[in-house]
Amino acid sequence: MGTEMGQKRHSASLANKVFIQRDYSEGTTCKFQTKFPSELESRIERTLFEDTVKTLNNYYAEAEKIGGQSYLEGCLACATAYLIFLCVETRYEKVLKKIAKYIQEQNEKIYAPRGLLITDPIERGMRVIEISIYEDRGSSGSSSGSSSVSGSTAR
Amino acid sequence: MPGFSSGGVGGGVGVPASAPPRPFRPSRYVPVSAATTFLVGSTTLFFCFTCPWLSEYFSSVIPIYIAVIFLFTLANFCMATFMDPGVFPRAEEDEDKEDDFRAPLYKTVEIKGIQVRMKWCSTCRFYRPPRCSHCSVCDNCVEDFDHHCPWVNNCIGRRNYRHFFLFLLSLTTHIMNVFGFGLVYVLHHRQQLDTPHAAVTMAVMCVAGLFFVPVAGLTGFHIVLVARGRTTNEQVTGKFRGGVNPFTNGCLRNISHVLCSSQAPRYMGRWRSPQAMEVQPPFLRPPLTEAQLEAKVLDNGIQNDRHSTRSKSSLDQMESQSADAEPPPPPKPELRYPGLPRADTEESSLLTEAPPTPSMYKYRPAYNSPGRNHTALTHPNKMIRGESLDSPSPSILMSSRQPNYRSEPSSLDGATVVGGGVGVRRGGVERGEGPGGPGGTTGGLSGGMSGYSLTGRSYTSYPSSLVLSTGGSRSSSLRSAHTAHNPLATLQSEGTTDTSYKSLANQTPRNGSLSYDSLLTPSESPEFESAAHELSPQKPHALFPSATVTSQPEVVSPSTRLQGYTSPFLSAQIAQQREGQLLQGSATFSSPHRAYLRAVSPPPPSSGPPEIQHLLQHNQDSSSRASRNPSSSSSSPGVRSLEPPVSPPPRGLSLGKSHSYTGEAGPQHKPRPAGGGTVPGGGGAGGGQQAPQSTSRPVLGNHTTSKPGGGVKKVTGVGGTTYEISV
């Protein structure tokens, strides 16, 4: 598996991208599928991945929650003829910042060491979570291929 | 705060994935200028001429109240005009690599138990999320698209719907105020009506009265929409006419969602933080599970050998094929990531999945040439992957893996196709090579493959019928044909994409068409079964028949049935032809169907296919030529971009009296949206846009080249794609 041990490579090249699609089963609220894609079988533990996606889903649910805060924000905006938006960030934007931080942290701690990178879904219009898979440059493509293949056959 | 998204200059604001700047069209600004002039001008006059007297005679609260309402109106008007409605940035190339060529035009997704279709947007290069629509005026896909409003010269979508709605409410109130207080003034100055003040007041009252009727009507319309949780687009296209709206959460919740939810973020013009993450090997790898280790042992180096060459050559051919009919598709994935030999990975992964089931190879790549005409590949797989399909068969196939990264020939039975898909595509697509190239290399692989390789036509589709009848698959292709019945049938009973075929297929027995009766049997029940599983039990049954039968039963049924048994790439036009022939009881069609029957047993007679292939070829030629999409939104070529099908030529060529699905679908949808005034017109534009686009994709023509022995028939398509049909 970890055959890269003996080969010290200092560069990684983008090999593949996996796109985690939205889960629309509950309507148009922002939620991503937690299904583990087969390309990541050999790259990351399933639980880590699922935790990441679930946390992201929770963040988005919090952003879209209709409650006291969003109502007040709306009233204030109406009262000030929406000029308030020039000064204050909307609730959603605040949560998006939190999400960006979270993704950054996940990338640093978990994904980059495994040769993966998560792209913030907002850059894709919140339609997909893009996970880039990197390979050691020059490392045999077959090893990654076979490992992912074997991973997939195992399913 | 608001991003300027409307206007003719520049579709995107400083964002990489946006439309190129469009020509400046002054005519687009006429309605919005007129609206602004009337609003501001009339109110100013009112304040100058009528309000002084009002504040003296009654109190100064009145002008203040009127001013507050007016400012509120103006603020919402500006927000509705200048705010980005929720434009989706164009998908980057990497994202749609999976949807190459044979990707289906539609993907279905289940929302609260109701099947909703997501259509591929050829301009924006992604499958439109539910409720998203592409605005041809703005040339953007807009989230929760309501309509394009010419009075604000902007789309109304998720982000600015609230402002638009409040604008309407406040404008109605403002008009009533102005008219009411103007009337008070006039009634008090009956003897001085010749004074300029009175004259101006009367003029303002006239303007107000004139605008009151349409504005109030529109306001009432939107109040109803908000209460029901629908968009104008959905209302006008009649999507939820049957009454099943998956997006509603109840009246109160709908209202609070519109008015009280947090302002949605914009997707365009965002500040992209520079990617500071360094990804450096060595990489951690998770420990392999036992199953994975076993699998590793099993796949003992079969990979990488023949398939690499075959895949590359087939890929080349695919690309050249597509160049025939349309501009070349996006570069293959290998070109995008030059670092890795893609082909190997995919081929190896293909091989590791040993003997693919028959149905997998049903859908040959043949349809590549018209670009992305075809269906089924990746997306049904993706759908299956991501969706609720829990059946074991899909999962086996889905394990595919890499194919995900590449377009796969998913087929009607999406699940099953996955594994064989890639290989099939490679082997099948080779142009004019005949058995030689692909055949040779195919060897073991296509041995299994060819057995099932479908030209994508009816003949070998028998496995598909089996698969279909299992109810597990999702067919993507013929959605286009099915789209004719789009709003009704689709949403209600579509179930899997398959259902679109099945539902149509199920219509046939009602028409008493003879040759298909036996064929229908296996698939009839599945349609409702699958629909029933996924949907609320009663509704699909009740709705679907009413929806399809009432609309165009004769058109729908035969073609669907045909589609059910034929390749996903079959366009509606071909389906219509078949339908026409069916209705005529033509013998030509009986043989392929016998083929289906024999799916369980020996191969079909070879007489059937050639005739049909000729038919298909005629059709395809004309349809591929004719199907250039005139609508602006589908500028890019490709399977999915086959939109408003120009029906006459194919019809002319088609053997029988096939109705043009598209023809019917088109007019059927157009008048409906084209009905009303501004808003319905705008909504209609959006809706009308969708409807014609949903029609068929061109189907490649086929003519058989019979090959002696081997039990494999080589069929070459118009584009030169070759596929093998087991005979």
Nearby residues of B538 by Cβ (< 8 Å), 6 or more positions away: none
Closest alpha carbon within chain B to A137: B339
Question: Would an 8 Å CB–CB cutoff place B140 in contact with chain A?
Answer: no
The pLDDT value recorded for residue B324 is: 45
- Taking one residue from A and the other from B, the number of pairs with CB-CB distance under 8 angstroms is 263
- Residue B337 confidence (pLDDT) above 70: no
B89 contact residues in A (CB cutoff 8 A): 123-125
DSSP string of B421-461, one letter each residue: HHHHHHHHH-BS-TIIIIIHHHHHHHHHHHHH--BSSSGGG
Q: How far, in Å, CA of B364 to CA of B538, rounded?
A: 37
Chain A nearest-CA distance from B349, in A, is: 5
Supply the DSSP symbol for B604.
P
> In the prediction, which pLDDT does B184 show?
92
Q: What pLDDT is stored for residue B244 in this prediction?
A: 84
* DSSP one-letter string for B204-230: HHHHHHHHHHHHHHHHHHHHHHHHHT-
Which is it for strands B147-149 and B140-142: parallel, antiparallel or unpaired?
A: unpaired
The residue among B161, B169, B279 with the most chain A CBs within 10 A of its CB, best to mutate, is: B279
B137: left (phi over 0), alpha (psi -120 to 50) or beta: alpha
Asked if residues B706 and B608 have their Cβ atoms less than 8 Å apart, the reply is no
Q: Which range, B243-252, B358-367, B496-505, is most confident?
A: B243-252
Q: Above 60 in pLDDT, residue B269?
A: yes
What is the average pLDDT across B388-417? 40
**Model pLDDT, residue B711:** 66
pLDDT of A63 over the 70 cut: yes
CA angle at B628 for the pair B677 and B29, rounded to the nearest 5°:
35
For the stretch B462-479, pLDDT in tens is 444 443 344 434 444 444
In the predicted model, what is the mean pLDDT of residues B545-570? 42
A136 pLDDT band, cuts 50/70/90, is confident
> What are the CA-CA distances from residue B461 to residues B384, B411, B456, B566, B590 (Å)?
21, 10, 7, 5, 14
pLDDT band at B393 (very low <50, low <70, confident <90, very high): very low
For chain B, give the longest Cα–Cα distance.
Answer: 105
**B residues 376-405 closer than 8 Å to A (CB):** 382, 385-386, 388, 395, 398-402, 404-405
Task: Tell me the ipTM for this assembly.
Answer: 0.84
- Is the pLDDT reported for residue B255 higher than 80? yes
Shortest CA gap A51–chain B (Å): 16
Query: For residues B582 and B393, which has the higher predicted lDDT (pLDDT)?
Result: B582
Q: Flag whether pLDDT at B418 surpasses 70.
A: no
Q: What is the mean pLDDT of residues B659-674?
A: 39
> For position B186, what pLDDT does the model report?
92
What average pLDDT does this structure show over B532-558? 41
pLDDT over 50 at B298, yes or no: yes
pLDDT for res B63: 93
Higher pLDDT, B598 or A48: A48
When pLDDT is averaged across residues B293-303 and rounded to a whole number, the result is: 67
B455 exposure class (CB count in 10 Å sphere: 0-12, 13-18, 19+)? buried
Q: What is the mean pLDDT of residues A73-83?
A: 91
Q: How crowded is residue B223: how many other Cβ atoms within 10 Å of its Cβ?
A: 14
pLDDT of residue B114 exceeding 70, the answer is yes
Would the pLDDT of B287 be above 60?
A: yes
Taking residues B131-156, report their average pLDDT: 93
Does A42 have pLDDT greater than 90?
Answer: no
Which of residues B524 and B141 earns the better pLDDT score?
A: B141
Asked if B107 and B382 touch (Cβ cutoff 8 Å), the reply is yes
Q: Please state the rounded mean pLDDT for residues B181-194.
A: 90
Does residue B18 or residue A123 have the better pLDDT?
Answer: A123
B231 close to B146: Cβ distance less than 8 angstroms: yes
Which residues, at least 6 apart from A25, have a Cβ–Cβ distance to it below 8 Å? A31, B109, B110, B111, B112, B388
Do A135 and B340 lie within an 8 Å CB cutoff? yes
Mutate to test the interface with A, among B173, B285, B404 (most CBs of A within 10 A): B285
Contact call for A145 and B91, based on CB within 8 A = no
Q: Strands of A128-136's sheet, edge to edge?
A: A12-21, A128-136, A116-119
Q: What is the pTM of this model?
A: 0.56
Residues B48 and B54: beta-carbon distance below 8 Å: no
Residues in A touching B83 (Cβ below 8 Å): none
Average pLDDT estimate for B540-549:
40
pLDDT, residue B637, reads: 41
Bigger pLDDT: B91 vs B685: B91
Q: What is the largest CA-CA distance in chain A?
A: 66
pLDDT above 60 for A127:
yes
Q: Known catalytic residues of B?
A: 149
Interface with chain B: mutation pick from A103, A146, A147, A148, highest number of B CBs within 10 Å: A146
pLDDT value for A40: 87
- Cis amide linkage into residue B287, ω under 30° from 0: no
Q: Where does residue B301 rank: exposed (0-12), middle (13-18), buried (19+ CB within 10 A)? A: exposed
Q: Which chain B residues touch A125 with a CB distance below 8 Å?
A: 88-89, 143, 267
**pLDDT of res. B689:** 41
Window from A71-80, B113-122, B430-439 with minimum mean pLDDT = B430-439
Predicted pLDDT of residue B716: 67
A70 Cβ neighbours under 8 A, 6+ residues apart: A91, B260, B261, B262
Q: Which residues of A touch B337 (CB under 8 A)?
A: 13-16
Mean pLDDT of B159-182: 95
Least confident range of A115-129, B87-101, B138-152, B437-451? B437-451
What CA–CA distance (Å, rounded) separates B531 from B523?
A: 12
In contact, A22 and A128? CB cutoff 8 Å = yes
Q: Residue A105 is which amino acid? A: E
Give me chain B's average pLDDT, please. Answer: 60
d(CA B8, CA B23): 6
Per-residue pLDDT, B710: 56
- CB nearest B386 (choices: A35, A74, A137): A35
Q: Chain A contact for B335, CB < 8 A?
A: no
* Residue B275: per-residue pLDDT: 65
Q: What are phi and psi of B715, to 5 degrees?
A: -125, 130
Length of chain A equals 155
Cα B476 from chain centre: 10
User: How high is the pLDDT of residue B631?
Assistant: 40
More confident residue, B535 or B26: B26
